[in-house]
Amino acid sequence: MKNITSQQRRLRRRMRSRSRMNGSATTPRISVFRSLRGMYAQLIDDENSKILTSVNSKTDFDKAEDVGERKGKVAVAFVLGKKLALKAKELNITSAVFDRSGYLYHGRVQAVAEGARENGLQF
């Protein structure tokens, strides 16, 4: 019997969901990557293969931002979602497609989506 690692399972989920979604210049794809040390999110135009804007937890996190009752890494992810939505507004983008990259929709991934929705980005 062959052992399947959690990374292989995530890659399989990622490919299955990516086959059904596509970002464009008017409705880009929000790609989320989370690691143990940081969090990254990008707005991607798949038609032209361009990254429109991106945020990461190392440079774009602001401790003064209001995060409600969230704590720790979830609070950082929420702030990143808000920053991504602000950058999208500067590019006149109001709607997007959320790509969770094979991660389950809870915790930090959900916090990025909630932060982006709070600042006006629609999924």
Query: Over the range 11-45, which residues count as b (16 or more CB within 10 Å of their CB) and which as e?
Result: eeebeeeeeeeebeeeebbbbbebeeeebbbbbbb
* 1 pLDDT more than 80: no
Q: Report pLDDT digits (tens) over 72-107.
A: 999 999 999 999 999 999 999 999 999 988 888 999
d(CA 16, CA 14): 5
Q: Inter-axis angle of helices 108-118 and 72-90, to 10 degrees?
A: 40
- Any bridge partners for residue 98, and if so which? 30
In a domain, 1, yes or no: no
pTM as predicted: 0.87
Question: Which CATH number characterizes residue 78's domain?
Answer: 3.30.420.100
pLDDT tens, position by position, 25-69: 788 999 999 999 999 999 999 889 899 999 999 988 877 888 888
| pLDDT number for residue 10 | 86
The total number of structural domains in the chain stands at 1
Domain span holding position 81? 6-118
Which pLDDT score, from 0 to 100, does residue 21 have? 78
